[in-house]
Amino acid sequence: MTIIASIDRPNRNIYLHADTVGTSVHPIDIYKEMRTLRRTNEELRKYNIFLQAKGNEDKGSGKATERFVICLEGTRIIPYDTSHQITIIGTIITDDGQEGIACFDRAPLTPSTIIDIAYVPPQVEVITITGGSGLDVEQDSMLRSIYANTELVLYYDFNNTQFGDGSVQNPFNNVAGLIDYSNLKNIKNIQLFSDITLDRNMEGFTVKGSNHETINCAGFSIDSSFFYDIDLAGIATGRINAKHCAIKNGFTGLDGHLTDCDFGGLTKIADGAFVLLDNCFSGVMLPNKPIFDLQNSVTTSISCSGYAGCLAVRNVAGSVNIIGFNEGSIELENTCVAGDIYLRGNARVLDTSNGSTVYTDCLLQPSNVKIDTSVPLDANVKQVNGTAVKGNGTPGNEWGPLI
């Protein structure tokens, strides 16, 4: 739903959109949309900010205020110009000491338009409990360590029908609320209890799943985020850390360090990525196998400090591509047309590459590899697509057939 139709900059009036007719609107949503418009409109940034969001203001005795919005320097909100009722479900005040309906102005509307503004601020306050939690010392220490530097534990649950405040009793029910509130409060830990599809960047967070919830990245950045027990799907940008995660079939843009993760099909590696796999494994049943598509990038690298199961690699064109295995098999597809592929570890290899240089001397079981064993290897002999070639790569002495 669009909240703001336009902003009259000189008169500091915020005109609401037709989508708000007959609906309930939280002032925080008006504030967030105002900030978004201001980021993308140079003319709006020439004026002082129109609204301010605050919350958790100390009221004494361990109590604090809920979230609220302040209209600054005479800013007023103008309902959409048609007769209707609009319900305001959060606290909104002015910087000169007024509240609620006083923050709205119906004067610019058509005289025949009748607007009924129902102001229903939440009768809540935030209470900080310093003792008596019911946890023993060990439980309290564990909880503090898990959610260190987190003001609130944030949940996401489509079964909850209200916009939440991040508490267990009132979790968020939309991605915008979850991420925007986290950024606003500098909260970095997010706990998920249902699948989500991103509609904005999720950068710099630690995201934990409860039962391998799926995040469809939908083309947004997840740079510098750390994922635990999450299924990653869709298209993403950014370099990540992931542990105990599943990379879903078709995931595009992989870059980063993955530990104890499984791959469920085709994974497209980001251009220029350095992917480090630590004890990762195939997540598909034979005869199928995961596929790493390097998309013919000349600067992409993959390093496996541990991988188990089957894997196919395609579209290798770069000069440095490293594959290592604990156990299993690897297929180098005929789309690997250039670059160097270093194989190491305990892997069976099916080499159908068509131009890449394949190094097999670090394999623990070279007999598993299709190679030319008719001549011993020395400093000037290497294997290319299973055939021994001689040279040293310098001008006039390029790699070529053995004589």
Helix (H, G, I), strand (E, B) or coil at 189: strand
User: What pTM, to 2 d.p., does this model score?
Assistant: 0.54
End-to-end, the C-alpha distance of the chain in Å comes to 73
Within 8 A by CB and 6+ apart from 214, the residues are 195, 196, 230, 231, 232, 233, 248
Would you state the pLDDT for residue 148?
A: 39
Residue 168: the pLDDT is 54
Structure confidence at residue 172 (pLDDT): 66
Backbone φ and ψ of 51, nearest 5°: -130, 155
pLDDT tens-place string over residues 32-77:
899 889 888 888 888 989 999 887 666 565 566 677 899 999 999 9
Whether the pLDDT of residue 403 is over 60: the answer is no
The burial of 56, by beta-carbon neighbours within 10 Å (0-12 exposed, 13-18 middle, 19 or more buried), is given as middle
Q: Find the largest Cα–Cα distance for the chain.
A: 97
Q: What angle do CA 179, 184, 187 make, to 5 degrees?
A: 70
Segment 69-103, tens digit of pLDDT: 999 999 999 999 999 989 888 889 999 888 889 99
The stretches of 16-92 forming alpha helices (DSSP H) are 27-40, 42-45
Name beta bridge partners: 237.
221
Given this model, what pLDDT does residue 140 score?
52
In which element (H, E) is residue 159 found? none
How far is it, in rounded angstroms, from Cα 158 to Cα 403?
70
* Residue of 49, 47, 52, 117 whose CA lies nearest to 80: 117
Q: Which pLDDT value is given to residue 314?
A: 92
To 10 degrees, the CA torsion angle through 133, 135, 139, 140?
Answer: 30
DSSP 8-class letter at 103 = G
What confidence tens digit (pLDDT) does each residue in 297-313 have? 888 888 887 788 888 99
pLDDT bin (cut points 50, 70, 90) of residue 391 is low
User: Are 94 and 69 within 8 A, CB to CB?
Assistant: no
CA–CA dist 121, 119 (Å, integer): 6
- For 150-175, write each residue's pLDDT tens digit: 333 444 444 444 445 555 555 666 78
CB atoms inside a 10 Å sphere around CB 158: 12
